[in-house]
Amino acid sequence: MSVTTTAALRAPEAAGRGRLKGLFEDERRLAFALLFPTMLLLGLFIAYPFVKGVMLSLTNAKVGEPGEWVGLANFAKIWNDAIFRTAVWNTFWYTAVTTVFKLALGLWLAVLLNRHFRGKAFVRAFILLPFIIPTVLSTFAWKWMFDPTFSVLNWSFYKLGLIGGRINWLGDPDLAMASVMIVNIWRGVPFYAISLLAGLQTISPELHEAAAIDGARPWQRFWHVTWPLLLPVTMVVVLFSVIQTFADFQLVYVLTGGGPANATHLFATYAYQIAIGTGLLSEGAAISLAMFPVLFLVVVVQLLYIRRVETR
């Protein structure tokens, strides 16, 4: 009697396991089950804020007020805003200049770190420090270095006889923008260097040896052997760097706050100032969304180019 009862109890369990096994034998159902947690997280933390931002940009919502539908009025308003046009120019100029310098310096460092020398592991770890230190903390240190009164840079240049007085690094519009770019380059070079170093280590030394036997000089070996093989990795690194730089906020906000006289505002800092500083949520959302078409176009062009390079 007990054996019969036990068998009767185990039968539904075995049937449930069988149905579950049969359910996951279908690859499409298994793929959906595995992707569902990721899709849920992306929907909650990316898709929903994006849709909410689009809806806000089409209303005249303020802090504490839901607002009414105004269509594209916010986009027309910011287009006629001189500070917004300055922020657009600053964002493109900031991204272009820093990307070029980070790529050049990162590639140079990667080539040096790819050589064999004593303490190589320690130097590679040390190079990552600017990228590891929290952005706000390192930017505060740079803000002190750029201070006109206590600046270690001014003191060093004065002792070397390069300047005769104080330089107000963050008080002059041109110098402030240059200072922001310098800090961004300093922080971004390690990311390029380590990523490109990983790409260099995938290139077989036999290719360089064969090129050297054929009489190719070091620069020719780099240009005709190393660079073509490193190009796919480089394009991926540049893609991520452009996205991060284009939407940069912390560095500029801590260093200058968009000043002096709104001269260093980027998309993100100006959107924050309008949305949070003045409470105009709808206009801030419109400024934030203004960068989306540009980023989307940049990503599409670079992905097409990466695919073209890989198919070669």
Q: What percent of the chain has pLDDT over 90?
A: 26
pTM of the model: 0.84
**b/e 160-175 (16+ beta carbons within 10 angstroms → b):** eeeeeeebbbbeebeb
pLDDT of 273 reads 92
| Average pLDDT score, the chain | 85
The half-sphere exposure of 167 on its side-chain side, counting CA atoms within 13 A, is: 19
| pLDDT, average across residues 122-142 | 85
Q: 69-101 pLDDT, tens per residue? A: 888 898 999 888 999 999 999 999 999 999 999
Residue, of 185 and 46, whose pLDDT is higher: 185
Evaluate if residue 4 carries a pLDDT over 60.
no
Cβ–Cβ < 8 Å for 57, 285: yes
Going by pLDDT thresholds of 50, 70 and 90, the confidence category of residue 6 is: low
Range with the poorest average pLDDT among 14-18, 125-129, 192-196: 14-18
Other Cβ atoms closer than 10 A to 35: 11
Q: How far apart are CA 162 and CA 164, in angstroms?
A: 7
Domains and CATH numbers, the chain: 76-311 (1.10.3720.10)
Residue, of 54 and 14, whose pLDDT is higher: 54
Cβ–Cβ < 8 Å for 262, 83: yes
pLDDT of 187 reads 92
pLDDT of 9 reads 46
| pLDDT, average across residues 166-190 | 91
Evaluate if residue 7 carries a pLDDT over 90.
no
Going by pLDDT thresholds of 50, 70 and 90, the confidence category of residue 229 is: confident
pLDDT of 8 reads 47
| pLDDT, average across residues 264-289 | 90
Three-state SS for 65?
A: strand
| pLDDT, average across residues 47-65 | 87
Q: How far apart are CA 278 and CA 132, in angstroms?
A: 33
